[in-house]
């Protein structure tokens, strides 16, 4: 399921933080891609490596021939909890994350306020990384991406705009169609999939193989729920009491198309 537009009601402010976060992620990723063969060294230096954080030792001290590395883990190594959330593993990774942040982040920022939203985003990302570390503290596989922080944004959106309409692309094998779903259905299904995929991926974790950090998503989402419940009494009220009627688009009711 890929969201392409939401209708939660009007914003009252420009989402400078959301746009800024998207810009920083894109700039870092383009720099990362430009490194060529040195990309892996950059990733190991600034991504979260569970075993490095557990021991408080920079990853470069745990790698043989570290003198040959072009990049060195920040000291203290715990700074990678921040740097890792602005890095991505590929074009699809950053594209999907930035799409979700663009669609859902602006209205959460509008309700929270710019500074509170930024702090909220960073806390969700940090806790998400810690959750993944707890699952496999001896792993030497780097964990990176904004997914954990964005999971927290999704949780907040779920609580603040549960009935907002979201236009969503749904793929069924080689077919796709566009449907309109309440946000609580779309985001709720997303979380359920992350949770059960995480349970299924535990066998992969035991084999010390890479993959999606599902428990980072779960940790970020739960953190977002808790923080939103705490902050909700201090947030600005919604811009309007009811959600706008979803505009009619002829394509919505058309049969599924070939992709």
User: Would you call the peptide bond into 59 cis, given omega within 30 degrees of 0 as the criterion?
Assistant: no
Residue 254 is assigned to a structural domain of this protein:
no
Residue 71 has pLDDT above 50, yes or no: yes
* 198/146: higher pLDDT: 146
pLDDT bin (cut points 50, 70, 90) of residue 176 is confident
**Run of H or E residues at 6:** strand 2-7
Q: Examine residue 259 and state whether it is found in any structural domain, yes or no.
A: no
> Can you tell me the mean pLDDT for 161-175?
89
Averaged pLDDT for residues 122-130:
96
Give the residue, 41 or 118, on which the prediction is more confident. Answer: 118
Range of the domain at 108: 14-164+181-238
**Which region among 20-29, 35-44, 63-72 has the lowest average model confidence (pLDDT)?**
63-72
Three-class DSSP labels, 69-123: CCCCCCCCHHHHHHHHHHCCCCHHHHHHHHHHHHHHHHHHHHHHCHHHHHHHHHH
Q: What are the tens digits of pLDDT across the range 91-114?
A: 999 999 999 999 999 999 999 999
Q: Band of the pLDDT at 115, cuts 50, 70, 90?
A: very high
Residue 2 vs residues 6, 86, 164, 239: alpha-carbon distances, Å? 12, 21, 16, 26
Residue 53 maps to a domain:
yes
In a domain, 253, yes or no: no
Q: Positive or negative CA dihedral for 202, 204, 208, 209?
A: negative
Q: Within a domain: residue 74?
A: yes
pTM of the model: 0.85
- Residue 211: per-residue pLDDT: 60
Which residues are tagged catalytic?
147, 217
How does DSSP assign 154-209, residue by residue? HHHHHHH-TT-EEEEEEEETTEEEEEEEEHHHHHHHHHHHHHHHHHHHHHHHHTT-
Q: Is residue 246 part of a domain?
A: no
Q: How many domains does the chain have?
A: 1
Q: Say what the pLDDT of residue 12 is.
A: 86
Domain assignment present for residue 2? The answer is no
Task: Dump pLDDT digits (tens) for 191-216.
Answer: 888 877 767 666 655 444 456 778 88
pLDDT value at position 60?
A: 56
39 vs 119, higher pLDDT: 119
Query: Helix, strand, or coil here: 38?
Result: helix
Task: Please state, in angstroms and rounded to a whole number, the distance separating the CA atoms of residues 57 and 154.
Answer: 33
- The CATH number assigned to the domain holding 223 equals 1.20.1540.10
On the question of pLDDT at 138 being above 50, the answer is yes
**Using one digit for the tens of pLDDT, what is the confidence trace for 217-234?**
999 999 999 999 999 999
Which pLDDT band, with edges at 50, 70 and 90, does 9 fall under? confident
Residue 5 lies in a domain: no
């Amino acid at each position: 399921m890929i969201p392409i537009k939401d209708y939660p009601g009007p914003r009252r402010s420009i989402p400078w933080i959301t746009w800024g976060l998207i810009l920083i992620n894109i700039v870092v990723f383009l720099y990362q891609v430009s490194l060529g063969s040195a990309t892996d060294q950059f990733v190991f230096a600034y991504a979260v490596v569970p075993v490095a954080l557990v021991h408080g030792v920079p990853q470069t001290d745990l790698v043989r021939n570290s003198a040959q590395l072009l990049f060195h883990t920040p000291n203290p190594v715990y700074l990678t909890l921040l740097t890792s959330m602005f890095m991505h593993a590929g074009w699809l990774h950053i594209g999907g994350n930035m799409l979700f942040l663009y669609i859902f982040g602006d209205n959460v920022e509008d309700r929270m306020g710019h500074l509170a939203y930024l702090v909220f985003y960073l806390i969700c990302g940090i806790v998400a990384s810690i959750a993944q570390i707890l699952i496999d503290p001896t792993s030497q596989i780097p964990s990176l991406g904004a997914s954990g922080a964005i999971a927290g944004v999704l949780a907040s959106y779920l609580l603040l705009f549960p009935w907002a309409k979201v236009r969503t692309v749904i793929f069924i094998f080689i077919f796709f169609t566009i449907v309109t779903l309440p946000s609580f259905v779309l985001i709720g299904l997303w979380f359920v999939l992350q949770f059960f995929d995480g349970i299924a991926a535990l066998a992969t974790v035991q084999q010390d193989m890479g993959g999606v950090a599902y428990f980072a998503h779960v940790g970020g989402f739960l953190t977002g729920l808790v923080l939103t419940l705490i902050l909700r009494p201090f947030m600005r009220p919604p811009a309007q009491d009811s959600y706008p009627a979803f505009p009619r688009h002829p394509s919505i009711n058309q049969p599924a198309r070939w992709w």
